[in-house]
Structure formats: C-alpha cells, structure tokens
Chain A
Amino acid sequence: MKKILLASALCATLVYGEAAKVLPVEKRTFDQSKYIPDISAILDFSYVNNSVGNDEIAHLELPGIAHGLLGEHSHGSSNHATYNSKQGFNLNYAEVVLSSNVDPFFSMDAVFHFSKNGVEVEEAYFTTTALGNGLRARGGKLNSNFGYLNAQHHHYWDFGDMPLVYEAFLGMHGINELGAQIQWTAPTPFYLMAGFEVLQGENEQMFGNKTIGNVENPIAKGDNAPSLYVGYVKASHDIGDTTIFGGVSYAQGSSRVDHSEDETPYVFSGDSKLYGADFVVLHSLNSYSSIKWQSEWLSREMGGIQYNLNPISSPNINKKQSGLYSQLIYTHDKNWKTGVRYDTIYKNDVKEDGIDANKPNDFKKYSAMIEYHTSEFARFRLQYNRNNAMYNENGDKVDVNSIILQANISIGAHAAHSF
C-alpha cells in the first residue's frame, strides 16, 4: 500500500512538475538576481626565497621599534603571519569583495580576506552618497585615509610588501579600524580635502585601549574606547600632464601594546602621536606610460610605562622615532612596469626613565621590482629586497636578501582605483 502511495505521489510530482517549468530569470515574479552586488575575487600568491631561514627570520627585530616583521610566529593560540612570510610558496590571501548601492542614500562595501588563519573582515563599511556640499561620511571597519598608502588595498601597491616604516610603526594592515570617518572636499578650483576619523584603537603595534593582564589585578589598565583620532588635509594640482599631490596627517590615541607572551615579555601602556606627510608626483608620458614618484614620512612619539615581566621592572619610556620611504615607478606600457624603493628609519630615540637607551638608528632597506601584466586583471611581479634593517636577539645586524615572485589575479567586477 505504502509503495502504491509513494509511486502515485511520484507520478503526480512528475505530471504537475512538468507544468511548473523553470522560468527564465527575467520572468520570475519575485526574482532578485538583478540586485546582486558587484563581486570580485582576488588571489595573491607568491614564491619567496630569503637568505635567512624561516626559524631565524621570525626572531629578527628593529630594536626599540618592532619585532616579528618578517616570517610568522604565534601569539598564544593565534598564528600571525605577514605577507610573503615563509620560504617557498605563500597564499597571502584570497580576497572577496562585495559592493553595491544600498538605497538612494548609502553604498556598502565589504572585503573579506580568506587565509589559512581563517576569514577576516578586512573592511566592511557604508558610505553616504547623498550628503552633498563635498561631504562624505563612512562608518564600519575601514582603512584610515591617514597618509597615502594606508587607504590603498594591498593588491594596488607597487611592491609586494609594505614600506618598512609603515610596517614597523603600524603593522601589516596599517591603520585598519572600526570607526567613523567624515571627509570634506573644498569648493576650490584645485583639489583640497580634509578628513577626520574617530577610531576604536585596536592597532597591535601602536594604538590600543584594552586592559592587559587579569581584570582584578591588571598589568596595564585599559582606557575608554574609542581612543584613536585621525585628521588629515590633502591637496593636489596639475601642471600640464604632471599631477602633484601632497598631504599631512596626524593620529593620536591611547597605547596598550601587549607583548606579554613574547620571549622578552613586556606590556606598554601610554599615549602615542603619529605624524605623517606624503608627496606624490605623477607625470604621464602618454595614455599608458608614466613616471610616478611617491614618498611618505612618518614620525611618532610614544610616552608611557613599559611593564617588563621578566625580570620585573617598570621604567618610564619615551620614544621618538622617524622614518620614510621613497619610490620611483616607471610604467612603460600596458604590459611592463618597473620601480625602485628606498626605506629608512633614521631616528630611534628611546629613553628609559630619562636615560638614553642607545638603540640603533641605521635601519635601511632597498627594493627593486619588475612587473608584467597580461591584462588589467593579472599581474606577475619579481621583487628583490635587500633589507639592512634587521637585528637578531643578541643585537647583531643580520642582512636579509629576498626574492619575491608574486602573482596577483582578479576575476569578476573590477572596480576602478582612485588616485
């Protein structure tokens, strides 16, 4: 009996199923496929050869400034890796980008980084489109517009790694924070823009407000969030086929830097200021060929208490550190591009209880690259780095030479990049 029922039910489904044909998309009554946002996927894959092995490279540092810039290492349970971190092949990320208008008032963008550490919401923000008067507001997780490079995505950079001073001061994501941003473009005949951001303050290298240690008896007490404020002014003018672009930026916030699980454990608690100036000159030779000179200077002041955990001490620390990068990129045509970059951190004044800690200040790095683009959607880059900035734990300088062969491939929607 059951079998008969089942068979007749199946027959009925077949008969009536025939009637309910699958309609083409445009004829479906409640079809929403036309509202699919712009989607793109970007792959960043590299082959790396360093003159220093994986184990050793992760222990190199810029004394008094940063450690763990190269290679990968663990922070408790989480594994932390920079781009191009290990010898051999690296999947730096597979990035998925979604963007669309929300309604007549907002657009939304979301950028997800898939890597072996999981999925990270790299950016997810809404942007106003209807404010007018040159105003634009944005809220969510975003790349700050501090400086020139910070707001650009990794795949748009001219080198596979971050400039030394950026990575040393701010880490590989730069100022990437939860927060709100407002920008105003002035009604001037030349480009003039001013912006202000209120950000949570969760930068591992420099800004933070979390209580470190156990809540009842913390090593460093936290501060109220949001605790990071960023402001900047940018201007640009064209002289013939040459565009000159410059900006000054300032960031100020609480600092809670947690290195309590490192080999030399310490916690820093205080306040920090970051100054930036950027200058870009782009000269177009024709539609496809150009010369671009891009430089940024960063300088920071950090003041507070460093809680050394082994052996225990808590000196007053005052850091004044400055560095810059300057790069020259020549785009030959739609296929070829080549460039050089000079990196330095030239000032590293660290005072412990008012006494100069005599930290080195001769950090330099040289890079050169050549790129081949098969189309706008695929580029292959060969980069050579000569890094004369790193020191080992004994305080001895270790030169690192690296070759990076990088493939950056994108499919789907291809959003145009701003200047």
Chain B
Amino acid sequence: MKKFITLLTLLPLTLLAHLDIAVSYPYIGALTKTIGGEHITTTVLAKGNWDPHFIIPRPSLIAKMRNADALIMNGGQLEIGWLPPLINRAGNPKVDTNAKTFLNLSHHVALLNKPKEVDRKDGDIHPDGNPHFHLNPQNILLLAGVIRDFLISIDTEHKAIYEKNYTDFSTAWSQKMKIWSEKMKEKKGLKVIQFHDNLAYFNNVYGLTNIGTIEPLPGIPPSSKHTIEIIELIKKEQPCCILHDVYHSTKTAEFISEKTGIKVVLMPHDIEALENISDLSSLFDHLTSAIK
C-alpha cells in the first residue's frame, strides 16, 4: 500500500493533493514554490509593484484566504494595515495566527533598527524593527530553510523532496551570493539617501550607509523644510545617489537630484516591482548592478 502511495506521488495526478499556500508578498511565493516544487501551489496576495505597507484588502483576497491550506506572511507589522481583516473574514482556521499551518517569517530573522521608544510622534514606525529583511540575500537562504521546515511540518510525506529542493536552492543561491558580493565589493562604504529605509538589510550586508530619507519620518510624506535639510546634507556628506523605491513618486527625489547633481536610482523591493524582475535571482542581479 505504501509503495502504491509513493508511486502515486510521482504521478502528476497528485496535483489533486496539492497544498494551496497563500503568501502575502511575491518573494515569499517564489521562495515557497522553489522549496515546495510540484507539491504545492502558491497564491500571492499583494502585487509586487505596490507599497507593501498599503495593500487594499479587496474581497477577492478573502476568497483566496478562504480556500488556502496555509498562510505564510512577512510579519514585523508589514501586513498590519491589510491582512487582519482578511483573516477575520475568511472563516478559515488554517490561516489563523495560532494555526500550525500559519508561518510568520519575521519570527525567524533578527530584525534591524528596533526602536527603543515607540511613539507615533516619530511617524509610522515598526515597533519590532525594520521588516524589509528579505533584501539581504543571506536572509533569503535562511528563510528558505524556515519554509522547508514549515512545509515538512505540515506535509511530512514529502519531507525528502522539500529537503532536496532546499539543498539544490542553497547550492545555487550560495554561488550567486558570491557573485553579488564580488559586484558590490567596490561599493562598500558608499553613502546613500533613500525615500524610506527599505534597503536597511541590503545596505547592511554590502556596507552601504544610509544617511537620510526623503520622508521626514517613516510614513510621513516629504515636506519642503525637510527637503531643504536633505539637500544641505547631500552637499555636506556627498552620498553617491538616491536609492528610490518604485511605488512612491520620484518628484521630490528628482528635485533634490536637480539641486545637488546626484543620481536617482530605482531599486525594486520585490519580484514584479519592475518589469524585468521575474524571480528572486533577477531581483538581486538588478539590485547589485543598479548603483553605477
């Protein structure tokens, strides 16, 4: 009987036994699909070219959550503005935060910049620290391991496959990380300006220093007073460039660029953030070659 089941799993017919895993962002979808292979399907809730903090909780997402067998989220309060009402309305205990089939990735990563004090006077800060941890490729590998363990815990039957997929990914990814490190070597020590501190982990791993953000405080739109301060700062500190996300308007950045002569570089934060970013490799290929 067991042999028969094993045989069955090798057949494409097992499509029927698929785990449908809902994930909040495209990068989690890609990673989960890499480890899960043909034994899972992923349903990505948020679009990659939009601000991950501000996703409209469309009713269609409730339908997706209702039909999911598991949920993997980024965490670190990145989804706090949109995911809770979807969980609340889905009527699906499998995606509830106390379920065995629920995974909060932020619980497995050491977060940077955890604020000592939490006060809305300081803007819309993340009390647990900066949640954009996936932009360090080392964390991607770490998260791949977390997702492997998670998939094994909810689907022990395919343990060997998930382990093999992880090992394959790990080997390929480690090689790519070497290339990316090599490419970024000469950028070490560069100072950068950002719109929002999206790239904290990227900067951290490649030795870039963020010296200021165009938004005066997290989540607070640019003000003319702060823009003038940033221009002064740029003149004094000579950063290489403004690393800009794809979803905020680059209007203020271009104004600053005009006044100071430093470049504005678009930095995708996730898969599909720019047209040519189709997978995790191309995301980091792009990020590591963006600063010229």
A binds B: yes
A185 pairs with B58, CB closer than 8 A: no
Assess whether A10 is interfacial by the CB under 8 Å rule.
Answer: no
In the assembled complex, which residues on chain A have CB atoms less than 8 Å from the CB atom of B90?
134, 185
A191 pairs with B63, CB closer than 8 A: yes
Assess whether A135 is interfacial by the CB under 8 Å rule.
Answer: yes
B59 pairs with A288, CB closer than 8 A: no
The stretch from A116-124, A208-216, A219-227, A236-244 touching chain B is: A236-244
Assess whether B54 is interfacial by the CB under 8 Å rule.
Answer: yes
B59 pairs with A416, CB closer than 8 A: no
Give which listed residue, A183, A287, A419, contacts B247 with CB less than 8 A: A287
In the assembled complex, which residues on chain B have CB atoms less than 8 Å from the CB atom of A411?
120
A183 pairs with B91, CB closer than 8 A: yes
A417 pairs with B85, CB closer than 8 A: yes
A418 pairs with B67, CB closer than 8 A: no
Q: How far is the CA of A281 from the CA of B214 in the complex (A)?
A: 33
In the assembled complex, which residues on chain A have CB atoms less than 8 Å from the CB atom of B123?
375
A185 pairs with B85, CB closer than 8 A: no
Give which listed residue, B59, B66, B221, contacts A419 with CB less than 8 A: B59
A131 pairs with B63, CB closer than 8 A: no
- B220-259 interface mask toward A, CB cutoff 8 Å, 1 = contact, 0 = none? 1100000000000000000000000001010000000000
Q: Which residue of chain A lies nearest to B85 when distances are taken between CB atoms in the complex?
A: A418
Assess whether B14 is interfacial by the CB under 8 Å rule.
Answer: no
Closest Cβ of chain A to B105, distance in Å, is 19
In the assembled complex, which residues on chain B have CB atoms less than 8 Å from the CB atom of A325?
none
Assess whether A415 is interfacial by the CB under 8 Å rule.
Answer: yes
In the assembled complex, which residues on chain A have CB atoms less than 8 Å from the CB atom of B289?
none
In the assembled complex, which residues on chain A have CB atoms less than 8 Å from the CB atom of B88?
107, 127, 418
Given A188-B63, A189-B63, A376-B124, decide whether A419 and B91 contact each other with a Cβ distance below 8 A: no
- B39-64 interface mask toward A, CB cutoff 8 Å, 1 = contact, 0 = none? 00000000000110010111110110
Tell me the A360-381 residues at the B interface (CB within 8 Å): 375-377
Assess whether A132 is interfacial by the CB under 8 Å rule.
Answer: yes
In the assembled complex, which residues on chain B have CB atoms less than 8 Å from the CB atom of A333?
221, 249
Which of B63, B98, B124 has the most chain A CB within a 10 Å cutoff? Answer: B63
In the assembled complex, which residues on chain B have CB atoms less than 8 Å from the CB atom of A245?
59
Assess whether B8 is interfacial by the CB under 8 Å rule.
Answer: no
Given A335-B221, A375-B120, decide whether A238 and B60 contact each other with a Cβ distance below 8 A: yes
Give which listed residue, B51, B58, B81, B124, contacts A243 with CB less than 8 A: B58
In the assembled complex, which residues on chain B have CB atoms less than 8 Å from the CB atom of A104?
98
Closest Cβ of chain A to B88, distance in Å, is 7
Assess whether A129 is interfacial by the CB under 8 Å rule.
Answer: yes
In the assembled complex, which residues on chain A have CB atoms less than 8 Å from the CB atom of B85?
415-419
Closest Cβ of chain A to B194, distance in Å, is 17
Closest Cβ of chain A to B54, distance in Å, is 5
Q: How far is the CA of A284 from the CA of B57 in the complex (A)?
A: 12
Assess whether A30 is interfacial by the CB under 8 Å rule.
Answer: no
Q: How far is the CA of A165 from the CA of B94 in the complex (A)?
A: 41
- A310-348 interface mask toward B, CB cutoff 8 Å, 1 = contact, 0 = none? 000000000000000000000001110000000000000
Tell me the B71-108 residues at the A interface (CB within 8 Å): 80-86, 88-94, 96, 98
Assess whether B219 is interfacial by the CB under 8 Å rule.
Answer: yes
A419 pairs with B84, CB closer than 8 A: no
Assess whether A190 is interfacial by the CB under 8 Å rule.
Answer: yes
A130 pairs with B93, CB closer than 8 A: yes
Q: How far is the CA of A333 from the CA of B51 in the complex (A)?
A: 13
Closest Cβ of chain A to B229, distance in Å, is 19
A192 pairs with B63, CB closer than 8 A: yes
Closest Cβ of chain A to B147, distance in Å, is 24
Closest Cβ of chain B to A138, distance in Å, is 11
Given A131-B91, A185-B90, A185-B91, decide whether A419 and B219 contact each other with a Cβ distance below 8 A: no
Give which listed residue, B84, B98, B120, B219, contacts A415 with CB less than 8 A: B84
Q: How far is the CA of A286 from the CA of B251 in the complex (A)?
A: 15
Q: How far is the CA of A333 from the CA of B247 in the complex (A)?
A: 12
Q: Which residue of chain B lies nearest to A334 when distances are taken between CB atoms in the complex?
A: B221
A243 pairs with B60, CB closer than 8 A: yes
B57 pairs with A416, CB closer than 8 A: yes
Q: Which residue of chain B lies nearest to A335 when distances are taken between CB atoms in the complex?
A: B221
A418 pairs with B89, CB closer than 8 A: yes
In the assembled complex, which residues on chain B have CB atoms less than 8 Å from the CB atom of A418?
57, 85-86, 88-89
**Additional 13 contacts, C-beta under 8 A, given A131-B91, A284-B56:** A104-B98, A129-B93, A131-B93, A132-B93, A189-B63, A237-B60, A375-B120, A375-B123, A375-B124, A375-B219, A417-B85, A419-B59, A419-B85
Q: Which residues of B contact A (CB under 8 A)?
A: 50-51, 54, 56-60, 62-63, 66-67, 80-86, 88-94, 96, 98, 120, 123-124, 219-221, 247, 249
In order of increasing CB-CB distance, the 7 nearest A-B pairs are: A236-B59, A287-B51, A191-B59, A418-B85, A134-B91, A191-B63, A136-B91
What are 9 contact pairs spanning A and B, CB under 8 A?
A: A107-B88, A127-B88, A183-B91, A191-B63, A236-B60, A284-B56, A417-B85, A418-B86, A418-B88
